[in-house]
Every structure is written in structure tokens, then in C-alpha cells.
Amino acid sequence: MEDYRPETYGDRIADLYDQMVVGLPDPADCVDRLAELAGPGPALELGIGTGRVALPLAARGVRVHGVDASAAMVERLRAKPGGGAIEVTLGDFAGVPVASVEGGYPLVYVVFNTFFSLLTQDDQVRCFAEVAGRLAPGGAFVVEAFVPDPTLHPGGQSVRTRHLGLDLVQFDVALHDPVAQRVDFQHVLLAGDGTRLLPGAIRYAWPAELDLMARMAGLRVRERWGGWRREPFGAASGLHVSVYEHAGAAAS
């Protein structure tokens, strides 16, 4: 998508984001797992957004830092109770633009497919390397992402109706490039008082490719679950929660 930038998704959706994610499962299980891995922290969230996960994690007593490219998303986070206490760096998380913390981060995490917001393999590889350089010895890098399903865009495109009401229609349109593993999309909202276009783009990767990026960064898979309740991961899993650690770390 021409002129699409790291901040585009967040800047366009910020005022609607919290409404649009109300249907997602409660993040309590996710927060439980992250809190176990973080200890007192600090934990670093890549693509922290409006704090859907960071705020309940901070409420558990974990010091949380974040990175996000969208000032509009971060403004929403800061307006919420507890949001002012979270240190957020504005920037592209491909380069993990945060100052080192003493001893390194015990936990860096990126949830809800947000890792795929990095639109090239180069940026994804770079991100793994930058994270590896900021992890504490024994620290964990947690990635939650969907397992790609190439059947979703037959013929390289798709249209999916999300809501059909008397006064509101919501649908998604997408173009898929299987060579670049890239999907460009628009969430379209049509209402009596106008149209909203909420653009997005992702570069997806299978777990095996993420593991290879991890290996190139000196990391390895410590655990992989099919969900935040430590569900087993297998061929039928639609998402994975992958916990990476330094390859030299003692087995835990």
C-alpha cells in the first residue's frame, strides 16, 4: 500500500481500537503467563498500543516499558488509569529503540500478531537480533502470532463481511502476495454518516521461519504453546505462543 508507514495502522484506528478488540478473549491468561516470566520486570512490550495487555500486567506489579510507532495509540494508553506510569518510546520496534536496562530485560514480548507488522524479512530478522541484545541472561522473548493459512485469500484477494446492520456495515478487503508473504488490507466501516478506512499490512511467517530468525540471533525455542493456557501446539493449532531464550541459557 503506497505511503503506508509503521505509524499508519495505529494513527488511523486509535479512536476505535479499544471498541474493535472488545470481542477478543480476556487477556487474563496472557497476563498470567507474562507475569510468571517477567518477575518484577521490567518487561518490554513491542507495539504496546493502548495498553490492552500492558496495563493489566503493570497492575500485577510488573514494571512495564513499551515501544510503539503511533503517538495516537500511546496517547490513548496514557489517558487510562496507570498509563502514565508506563515508559513508552515512540519509534519503529524493528530496531527496538529503547535504552538498555541494567542486567537486561527478563521479558520482551509481542502479542496479537503484532510481530507481523514488520513488513520485510530483513526487519523481522533485525528485530530478533535487537531483542537478543537486550534480554537478561535467562530472559524470555515471547511471540504470540497466528499460524499462516494460505487458503484465506483464494486468487490473491479476499472480502470478508464482519457486520451487517441497518445502519452499519463492516467488511475487510485484502490483497495477498504469497512471495513476499505479505497481506495488505483495509477494515472498511460504512455508516449513514460516512465511511472509515482503517488500513493495515502484515508480513506473516510460519513458526519454523521465526525459529530460524531466533537461531540467527543466538536464541532458541524454550517452549511453544497453542494458547496462553499452555495448550499443546500441533498441526491443527491456529496460533502459537513461542517463548525464546538465549541458546546458551541453562535448561529451565
Ligand X SMILES: C[S@@+](CC[C@H](N)C(=O)[O-])C[C@H]1O[C@@H](n2cnc3c(N)ncnc32)[C@H](O)[C@@H]1O
Tell how strand 43-46 and strand 64-68 pair up: parallel
Task: Say how far residue 112 (Cα) sits from the centre of its chain.
Answer: 4
Tell which residue, 7, 53, 9, has the closest CA to residue 31: 53
CB of 185 to ligand X, least distance (A): 12
Q: Judged by CB under 6 A, which stretch of 2-10, 80-88, 147-155, 232-240 contacts ligand X?
A: 2-10
- CA 41 – CA 28 distance, rounded (Å): 18
Binding string, 111-140, against ligand X, x = CB under 6 A?
Answer: xx-x--xx----------------------
Is position 86 an interface residue for ligand X (rule: CB under 6 A)? no
Helices (H) and strands (E) in the chain, counts: 6, 11
What nine digits make up the cell of 149?
493459512
Helix (H, G, I), strand (E, B) or coil at 74: helix
If one asks whether residue 83 binds ligand X (CB under 6 A), the answer comes out as no
Of positions 33, 41, 42, 47, contacts ligand X by CB under 6 A: 47
Q: Work out whether 58 is an interface residue with ligand X (CB under 6 A).
A: no
Contacts of residue 202, Cβ cutoff 8 Å, sequence gap at least 6: 113, 116, 117, 119, 182, 183, 185
Beta carbon nearer to ligand X, 47 or 139: 47
Rounded distance between C-alpha atoms, residue 54 and residue 86, angstroms: 8
- 73 counts as binding ligand X under rule CB under 6 A: yes
Q: Which of 34, 69, 183, 210 lies at the binding interface for ligand X (CB under 6 A)?
A: 69
Window contacting ligand X (CB under 6 A); options: 108-116, 174-182, 188-196, 217-225: 108-116
Q: Which residues bind ligand X (CB under 6 A)?
A: 6, 9-10, 21, 47-49, 52-53, 67-70, 73, 92-94, 111-112, 114, 117-118
